[in-house]
């Protein structure tokens, strides 16, 4: 890896217009007062890094469920999946990954399968780290059916300053593990509901890397993991 690759990351196209706006405001601030201009430079760099979209080494072994988001595991508990997905009233293990405004916000499919439902629900904008955010905040939920017929749910949840949830997949579409499926602006959370009988392999407070960190093992545990870059 080149040294420059450590600092310069690809940016998702969704961020181009925002970086352009920040840069334009920065020029105005320099015209008004130079110290304000340098503040604008810092904010423009932050905006660029918010929309960064680095490549990830995605595990390709069957049965590995990976984190859909960068961030920190904020909750591990049993909860009923969103009713709009039609996955039943039984509580499943839910792993929540909280993304701060400094995390990469591109969301990735946690496991390969067929998207059977995509359901958006408007709501409030509580801090995404709070438990009640799963129930009351604006959200977009996906159900992904595995080859064996079981389903997992992954839910994009808006946060305190997030005002736009983006999802690029549709019902009936197949996704690969680690495939980009959405993005949330600015600061938010992702919930993953595991199939019954599947235990999480992560702990509260653990740092997660979207598309790479394994959340759970579904099916056969493969001791030697292979990966692809996506």
Residues assigned a catalytic role = 188
Instruction: Give backbone dihedrals phi and psi of 205, rounded to 5 degrees, phi first.
Output: 85, -5
Sign, CA dihedral 208-211-214-217, equals positive
24: how many CB neighbours lie within 10 A of its CB?
12
Tokens read off for 102: 């400094």
Of 192, 186, 75, residue with least CA distance to 125: 186
CB neighbour list of residue 30: distance below 8 Å, 6 or more residues apart: 36, 37, 40
């Amino acid at each position: 890896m080149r040294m420059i690759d450590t600092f310069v990351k690809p940016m998702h196209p969704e961020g181009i217009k925002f970086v352009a706006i920040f840069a334009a405001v920065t020029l105005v601030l320099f015209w008004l007062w130079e110290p304000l201009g340098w503040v604008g430079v810092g904010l423009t760099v932050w905006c660029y890094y918010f929309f960064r979209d680095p490549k990830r080494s995605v595990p390709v072994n069957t049965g590995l469920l990976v984190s859909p988001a960068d961030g920190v595991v904020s909750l591990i508990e049993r909860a009923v999946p969103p009713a709009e997905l039609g996955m039943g009233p039984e509580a499943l293990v839910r792993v929540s990954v909280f993304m701060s405004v400094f995390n990469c916000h591109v969301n990735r499919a946690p496991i390969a399968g067929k998207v059977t439902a995509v359901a958006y629900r408007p709501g409030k904008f509580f801090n995404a780290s709070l438990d009640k955010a799963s129930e009351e905040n604006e959200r977009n939920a996906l159900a992904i059916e595995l080859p064996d017929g079981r389903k997992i749910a992954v839910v994009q949840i808006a946060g305190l300053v997030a005002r736009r949830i983006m999802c690029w997949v549709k019902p009936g579409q197949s996704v690969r593990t680690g495939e980009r499926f959405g993005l949330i602006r600015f600061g938010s959370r992702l919930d993953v509901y595991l199939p019954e009988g599947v235990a999480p392999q992560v702990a509260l407070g653990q740092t997660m890397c979207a598309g790479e960190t394994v959340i759970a093992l579904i099916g056969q545990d493969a001791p030697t993991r292979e990966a692809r870059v996506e």
